[in-house]
Chain A
Amino acid sequence: MKNLKIILFFQFFSLILYAQENIVTGNVKDSNGDVLPGASVIVKGTNYGAITDFDGNFKINLKDKKNVELIFSYVGYTDAEVAVGDKTNIDVILYSGNQLDEVVVIGYGTQTKKDVTGALAVADAEDLPTMASGNFLDNLQGQISGVQVNSTSGAPGAGINVSIRGASSIDGGTQPLYVIDGVPVEAGDSNVAVAENDQNSGLGDMSFINPSDIESMTVLKDAAATAVYGARGANGVVVITTKSGGQSGNKLSVNLTTFVDYLPNQVPVLNMEEYVQMRHYNSPGGSPLYSTNSGDQEDPTWIAREYHPDSIVNVNLQDEVFRPALSQQVNIAFNSGTENSKTAASLGYLKKNGIVKYTDYERFTTMLKYKMDVNKHVSLSSNINGSMGRTNAVRGNAQGNSVSAGIIQSVLNSTPGYVITDPSEENPDEEFDDELDGELSGPLELLRDGTKITTLNRLIASLALDVNITNDLRFRSRYSGQVSSSQADLFYPRTLSQGRRYGGRAILKNTSSRRMDWQNTLTYNTSFDVVRMTLLGGFELGNQVKETRETENRDFAVGAGGIYNIQEGVNPQIPTSFQTKNQYTSYFSRAQFQIKDKYLFSASFRGDGSSKFGENNKWGHFYAFAAGWTLSNESFLAGADYISLLKLRASYGTTGNDRIPDGLTRTNYQIGYYPDSSNNNVMSFGIANLGNPNLKWETTTQANIGIDGSMFNNRLNFTADAYYKKTEDLLLNLNIPAYYGIGVQVQNIGRIDNSGIELSISGDIIRNSKFNWFASFTATRNISEIIDLGGPTQRLLPQGTSTFREIGILRVGEPVGSFYGYVYDGIYDFEDFKEFDQYTTREAAAKSYSPNITYTLKEGVTDIDSHNVHPGAMKFKNLTDDDGGENLITQNDRTTIGNGNPDVFGGFVNRFTFGKFNVDLFFNYSLGNEIFYAGRFLRQGGKSKNHNITKEFWSSTWKEDGGVYNDYSIRDRQGSSLESSYYVEDGSYVRLKSLNVAYNFDLPENSGFRGLRIFANANNLLTFTKYGGFDPEIQGINKLVRGVDRGSYPVAVSISVGINANF
């Protein structure tokens, strides 16, 4: 396409030479104020025109100006028509839009957008909002329908989960395949080393790409688009194209940004005075600190008598731990082009400080892209993309693995101060120190003295050879190599509770991988008569080797050790290493036909062989067919000039998901240890897994229908798709009889269906030379249904290791990602117990109440099995009669109590241009999703009687004063610690994800600048939600269950200012 433009340029240049009359000059820029060199200016109805020069200026000689309209066009932009009249100077701004001639990158090739028959969507990087996270996936949120993006935490560098058209796998992974400049990049958490049993590493595996290096992203959604990726295409494919060198000349772009991040709002918790009262209430007769030694608990003066008020010291831990954080980003991009070569190079540096003290993220990225035409037929291109990332993450678990872990929780739960006690007394707080063992450290100490560093270094290098064998037949061979190395370094000194039990603990863990991929394709492009066709055939082979190694040492003297002196510990653990390798080879082909520019057909086929597949299923075959009908080119719509494009699409095909863990096709033994008579370890063997020679990919069959439209001279564009996806042969860890030697085996069994509709619509609502308003809107509704779990009708999805771990469930007939638990039914009150019948008033009943008495429930009142219920405790609905009419709540009374999936999600973009200003507003939204707010349990003092609680809960918690309260009693640590609908909240939200204001300076030609722009940006400035936690966008530990919030790292409001200079 661009070659064509160069030819046009020379043709028009020659035309300009022979007429010198009515000269019209002007300048063509894009909406960002960047000049557009090479834009064509054509007199409407003729072939006559001009091309803009390197500075975007044009000059055209017209015979008759009055009745002439000029058409300005540029690839990727919407044409503009301007009547000349008596103007001698015409400046035009061209807007990027859904240009029908736009070339989109698809699998192993490109295609003109109007010819596309599959469901795919393109996001141009320059249209995406600015995100402070530095993770390109964040920019994608709400932009493309069908693509759901959830950040795992607000921590700098944190991972982001993407699923396309719903989760269609359970044990096989739901992340899409990423293809970066043609190189398949396996995404997955396993790229990032994780030390400690912490399922959130705090570093996203796709964070290695600098968003500013990206030119565009194409998301391939249906089978027609993804079948060419065969066994790796079932979860969708994100094709990323990085920025290339320009046509000619040298360009340098420098972008400097400074961020200020802050916590939008603190959670009001009790101060020390209130806390002491709460403790006193919570554990009557407990410790001398929190109750009177005299035992008179009703005495309101007890604090004053026991401790002088001055001895109570308040500490606001949120002030101590959170901070406004200042961060910087520098991006430098250089690109250069000559007739035979194109070069693009970039450097990026990002240092993000977290709003939690001692947390930060640092990333250094570099890219070098070079393309050279060796001769007329042969060209070489090489890409090198390198990245070094490092997080200094929150210590402990960022999102508490057990409900009591997690620094954010401990900030809220820790004692909000201290009491200066009589030094002659034994430390009265000692008992509470004991309770804290193994659960919590002082949060600030943990952040200051603990170390948790995760690094991710990745390098992707590729070399491609393009050979034009004939004008129609092109051969391409691309060889790529990837190296990824990630380290997780962890140290907890013995002074922290996380380290105390080990006498100090240091772990060094390394996860690395090497991947190689070699693709060879032949593309044949031809047309005859009314048929145009493109045929593609290719082979691909590759392998990957993954390694992990781990070293751990314990027992460090105080002040000794750390991750850089691990040898100072005296209790080394057995080091471990593990390596796996898999190899694959594939062949594929695709045929695309366009007949009379109206009827579009495509078919693709791929065969994948992989060492991961079992002996009996070495090869998987995948296919897709698609057809399109361009109605707008039919004669019956010929009169409808306002329609530029109206196209119907339909596709059907299969794809696979080959994310089978390595080494499961054969029975393997693993090495264990058993101590000999001297208690020294000796090697032992035990079965590690029961091999499954039938193991294969998961198969997804997908049907899609869609419509694309472009109207009013491309001012209004829309796309709508409806799909139905059936995923069978799920890779499931299935129970097998115990006497098979092992409890579970991975088998291909089970089925999940996803269906949904997607809509995206965009348009220039107002378009004139003074003011422009562009808006776009996306909406997605996906419904998943589990059809078969291979026998069992339900399966728990455990999260973490402690309270609320059984909240996630998969149940046949329900969507993936349901919450499972008891149905909350209010609280037990006095009238539920026999003993209070004798009292006529609540006050009297309350007065007689003692927490130390075991009360008897009345007949007919639901009891909780194996729990000791008392007034104020949580009550649940008895759903099954499994207890012989005893009216007991048992485990069988659990049911589906919520769903983390939204009914609808998407985004809404508004882009205003007036004068030199650009204002972008980007909202994203999610409606109908529910959140299981496990963090609330802690904030409400459920876990332990010494946890601090929110002021709000303290005012609403049931108390024995005869009042009526909405919330359960703080002393109920039984019912309140069960998964129940009490904690399920509406997680719908609309968020102003990004607000961006930019000003483009008008600079004189000799200033040396091509453009200068300053901008201010705000992320997450406003969130409209009823949800009571920090962030409704929360993603749980288990990716299949969205919306389990255990008190994760809060998402910050990020304000940034920056300057972008182009030279």
Chain B
Amino acid sequence: MMKKTNLYIALLSVFTMINIIGCDDYLEEVNFSRIQKQEVFKSIEGADAAVLGVYSLLSESGPGLPGNLFGANGTWFRGNNWMSSCNNDEQLLEPDPNFNSPAWITLSSLSYTSTNIQITSTWIGLYQGIFRANAVLNNIDNIIDESPELIASLKGEARFMRGFYYFYLMTYYGGVPIVNQETRDNTITRSSVEDVAALIEADWLYAQENIIDEKMNHNGRAGQLTATAYLAKLHLYLASAKESKVYNGIEPFPLNSFNWVDDKEHYNKAKDYADKVYDSDSYSLVDNYGMLFVKAGSEEQRDEFIFNIQTNAQNGVRYSRSAVTLGSNGLGGGQGLLRPNVHMYDLYFEGDTRREANLSGGKLKEKNGVESLNGMKYIKVTPVKPKNLNKNNSIFVNKYRNPAFDLGELKENTNTVLDTNIPLLRYADLLLIRAEAHYKVKASRAGIPNEMLSEVRQRSLHKKVDIDKVNNHYLKDDFMEELLEERSRELAFEGWRRIDLFRTNKYEDRIEAIDDSDKTPSNLLPRLSQIQLNYADYKMWYPIPQRALELSPNIIQNPGYLDNN
């Protein structure tokens, strides 16, 4: 009797257990904190968040990157600043012994290889952006009961961003693989610059047609005119690259060729698109140049930024590592690892406020005192001391500044978070694009080209300074030379210099022309000589990352770079 009871107990337990195991979903994965794709694209709100996800990669540290590799931060979180700014005549890497990421040192001294983690993570980050855009485009049509216009508008934004990421891929690496699906195909090959440019143009044209324009009020999101302005940029880029005969290998390398470009036609297109934005009166130059870079989402930024990265330093969305690349140390104004060259100081005429706005003589310190800009407190800038220019640590990037927090004692803001929106394309840039395009179309600087230069200069002059005197001072016989200088003056440390020097084929000239006399601080001299020594024509393109070559065997390397180097 006893034994039977015991047996029953045992059997009961066993059967209960089998019953539980028998439940079909017992071994299904359960995730309370994770979201599946079908849930994202269930509603227009989800799709909108997915479109924001395409933008947010601009400021993300790069999810899914091998993030624990030092410096492996794609896009603008950190990486793009290195790719665009660390090895030209605007900034030089301070040989700081405290800082020894080989990726950054080699990138900054033009001795990088295809395994450089920055070159690699920029590639990854940009392609992730493209993937996110593709995910929107592939899935958004599943949403039913929404207006086709709204869907098309979101698609327009996704396509704008896809074009945007391809544009940077093209300028850094040349012809790259085109991926327009959420693909899992590693047999992919590189497309030519021609095909990539065609895709970018198509995407931006679609965006220009389909984005519902009230969205333009959203600073960080693309509107129709954002696409238009970028179309001007694209065509100017292609036309000037063709015209200036950008290096294309000892043996011509068809993938990166600009031979297909009809430069006249593209200059004309650039002119038309620039005129279209100009004539729309949607943007304006603000009075105070310096205010553009200090407060997130200010009136000034809304007026002048055509496209920008939105930031919110308080809540974790950050444009980080600006200290390293741009020189903002917490409060701003210095100690960035990339130091402006002395010639940046000489570039400005006395009374051009852009000099003080862009350059400082040292890290901002509490004892400098506080100034109030638009109702927020900022530490006053440490001015550059002209007599100290050739000394070490005499000149720093001052462009981006953080407000000082007043909490009984001054807060030393973090040196990794910058609390201001970061411009990607400004109206001033568009004016200079317009100047260049009109000059190229008419082959004369009279009229619009000169007017545009004056307009850009005018607003940043001290009240007593005469614009004619300034125009005279900045005047160069070669209009393009003057224009490129003006672009550097106006757009300093905004990431355009390398691209400008590249498309005009003046990269080598400018590197060689950097003054290595006693004007350059001695601690920057070694870096300067390394850049000059290591420069080679083929370095105008970055190498395709070794990682990409290994994972997709049909992708080939750019000329000049060894397959394994």
Residue in A closest to B407 when the chains form the complex, CB atoms: A557
Residue in A closest to B311 when the chains form the complex, CB atoms: A675
Partner of B97, one of A668, A891, A944: A944
Partner of B128, one of A500, A577, A738, A891: A738
Contact partners of B115 in chain A: CB under 8 A = 891
Q: Are B407 and A674 in contact (CB under 8 A)?
A: no
Partner of A468, one of B6, B49, B335, B415: B6
Contact partners of B28 in chain A: CB under 8 A = 611
A678 within 8 A of B: yes
Q: Are A675 and B317 in contact (CB under 8 A)?
A: yes
B135 within 8 A of A: yes
Q: How large is the interface on B (under 10, 10 to 19, 20 to 34, 35 or more residues)?
A: 35 or more
Stretch in A24-32, A798-806, A905-913 with 4+ CB within 8 Å of B: A798-806
CA distance A662 to B31 in the complex (A): 8
Q: Are A735 and B547 in contact (CB under 8 A)?
A: yes
Stretch in A153-161, A300-308, A469-477, A651-659 with 4+ CB within 8 Å of B: A469-477
B56 within 8 A of A: yes
Q: Are A580 and B32 in contact (CB under 8 A)?
A: yes
Residue in B closest to A522 when the chains form the complex, CB atoms: B10
Contact partners of A611 in chain B: CB under 8 A = 26-30
Q: Are B330 and A685 in contact (CB under 8 A)?
A: no
Q: Are A743 and B408 in contact (CB under 8 A)?
A: no
B525 within 8 A of A: yes
Contact partners of B35 in chain A: CB under 8 A = 668-671, 685
Measured CB to CB, the closest approach of chain B to A367, in angstroms, equals 26
CA distance A978 to B105 in the complex (A): 13
A687 within 8 A of B: yes
Residues of chain A from 671 to 726 with CB closer than 8 A to chain B in the complex: 671-690
1/0 per position for B83-100, CB-CB distance to A under 8 A? 000000000000101101
B461 within 8 A of A: no
Q: Are A539 and B52 in contact (CB under 8 A)?
A: no
Q: Are B33 and A577 in contact (CB under 8 A)?
A: yes
1/0 per position for A459-497, CB-CB distance to B under 8 A? 000000101111000010100000000000000001000
A438 within 8 A of B: yes
Partner of A579, one of B33, B56, B109, B220: B33
Q: How large is the interface on A (under 10, 10 to 19, 20 to 34, 35 or more residues)?
A: 35 or more
Q: Are A687 and B2 in contact (CB under 8 A)?
A: no
CA distance A348 to B124 in the complex (A): 54
CA distance A582 to B405 in the complex (A): 45
A475-B407 contact in complex given A685-B50, A868-B95, C-beta closer than 8 Å: no
CA distance A327 to B174 in the complex (A): 67
Measured CB to CB, the closest approach of chain A to B329, in angstroms, equals 8
Contact partners of B95 in chain A: CB under 8 A = 868, 974
Q: Are A686 and B530 in contact (CB under 8 A)?
A: no
Stretch in A45-53, A568-576, A637-645, A988-996 with 4+ CB within 8 Å of B: A568-576
Partner of B10, one of A475, A733, A735, A974: A475
Contact partners of A470 in chain B: CB under 8 A = 3
Q: Are A866 and B297 in contact (CB under 8 A)?
A: no
B389 within 8 A of A: no
B476 within 8 A of A: no
Residue in A closest to B527 when the chains form the complex, CB atoms: A866
Q: Are A437 and B412 in contact (CB under 8 A)?
A: yes
Q: Are B411 and A738 in contact (CB under 8 A)?
A: no
A414 within 8 A of B: no
Partner of A738, one of B69, B127, B221: B127
Residue in A closest to B219 when the chains form the complex, CB atoms: A677
Measured CB to CB, the closest approach of chain B to A434, in angstroms, equals 7
Partner of A674, one of B20, B126, B310: B310
B68 within 8 A of A: yes
CA distance A575 to B98 in the complex (A): 33
A973 within 8 A of B: yes
Measured CB to CB, the closest approach of chain A to B324, in angstroms, equals 12
Residues of chain A from 188 to 233 with CB closer than 8 A to chain B in the complex: none
Residue in A closest to B323 when the chains form the complex, CB atoms: A438
Q: Are B312 and A581 in contact (CB under 8 A)?
A: no
A796 within 8 A of B: yes
Residue in A closest to B565 when the chains form the complex, CB atoms: A882
Q: Are B53 and A574 in contact (CB under 8 A)?
A: no
B262 within 8 A of A: no
Contact partners of A690 in chain B: CB under 8 A = 64
Contact partners of A806 in chain B: CB under 8 A = 70
A375 within 8 A of B: yes
CA distance A539 to B17 in the complex (A): 8
Q: Are B33 and A578 in contact (CB under 8 A)?
A: yes
Q: Are A500 and B3 in contact (CB under 8 A)?
A: no
Partner of B315, one of A437, A539, A673: A673
CA distance A582 to B27 in the complex (A): 8
Q: Are B21 and A539 in contact (CB under 8 A)?
A: yes
CA distance A882 to B106 in the complex (A): 15
Residue in B closest to A539 when the chains form the complex, CB atoms: B17
Measured CB to CB, the closest approach of chain A to B419, in angstroms, equals 9
Q: Are A738 and B123 in contact (CB under 8 A)?
A: yes
A739-B2 contact in complex given A502-B414, A667-B36, C-beta closer than 8 Å: no
CA distance A737 to B312 in the complex (A): 31
Q: Are A735 and B26 in contact (CB under 8 A)?
A: no
Stretch in B179-187, B224-232, B483-491 with 4+ CB within 8 Å of A: B179-187
1/0 per position for A594-612, CB-CB distance to B under 8 A? 0000000000000001111
Total cross-chain contacts (CB, 8 A): 311
Contact partners of A736 in chain B: CB under 8 A = 551
B421 within 8 A of A: yes
Partner of B49, one of A685, A737, A798: A685
A555 within 8 A of B: yes
Contact partners of B53 in chain A: CB under 8 A = 672, 674, 684-686
Residues of chain B from 194 to 232 with CB closer than 8 A to chain A in the complex: 217-221
Contact partners of A574 in chain B: CB under 8 A = 315-316
1/0 per position for B290-318, CB-CB distance to A under 8 A? 00000011000010000000111011110
A741-B9 contact in complex given A574-B315, A674-B55, C-beta closer than 8 Å: no
Measured CB to CB, the closest approach of chain B to A198, in angstroms, equals 14
Q: Are A977 and B177 in contact (CB under 8 A)?
A: no
CA distance A977 to B217 in the complex (A): 49
Q: Are A558 and B60 in contact (CB under 8 A)?
A: no
Measured CB to CB, the closest approach of chain A to B111, in angstroms, equals 5
B457 within 8 A of A: no
Contact partners of B102 in chain A: CB under 8 A = 866, 891
Q: Are A467 and B6 in contact (CB under 8 A)?
A: yes
A524 within 8 A of B: no
Q: Are B27 and A866 in contact (CB under 8 A)?
A: no
Q: Are B49 and A739 in contact (CB under 8 A)?
A: no
CA distance A688 to B311 in the complex (A): 21
Q: Are B31 and A437 in contact (CB under 8 A)?
A: no
B57 within 8 A of A: yes
Residues of chain B from 391 to 439 with CB closer than 8 A to chain A in the complex: 405, 407-409, 411-415, 421
CA distance A682 to B310 in the complex (A): 11
Contact partners of B33 in chain A: CB under 8 A = 577-580, 663
A854-B526 contact in complex given A580-B32, A681-B317, C-beta closer than 8 Å: yes
Which of B29, B95, B296, B316 has the largest count of A CB atoms less than 10 A from its CB? B29
B7 within 8 A of A: yes
Residues of chain B from 516 to 565 with CB closer than 8 A to chain A in the complex: 522, 525-526, 530, 547-548, 550-552, 565
Q: Are A678 and B128 in contact (CB under 8 A)?
A: no
Q: Are B363 and A739 in contact (CB under 8 A)?
A: no
Q: Are A866 and B363 in contact (CB under 8 A)?
A: no
Q: Are B6 and A469 in contact (CB under 8 A)?
A: yes
Measured CB to CB, the closest approach of chain B to A982, in angstroms, equals 15
CA distance A155 to B20 in the complex (A): 45
CA distance A689 to B29 in the complex (A): 15
Q: Are A686 and B63 in contact (CB under 8 A)?
A: yes
A663-B31 contact in complex given A469-B10, A675-B317, C-beta closer than 8 Å: yes
Measured CB to CB, the closest approach of chain B to A23, in angstroms, equals 44
Residues of chain A from 959 to 988 with CB closer than 8 A to chain B in the complex: 973-974, 977-978
Closest 9 CB pairs of A and B: A973-B97, A742-B64, A741-B131, A684-B52, A738-B127, A674-B56, A475-B10, A675-B310, A668-B34
**CB<8 Å pairs between A and B, sample of 6:** A376-B2, A690-B64, A737-B127, A744-B65, A890-B111, A974-B100
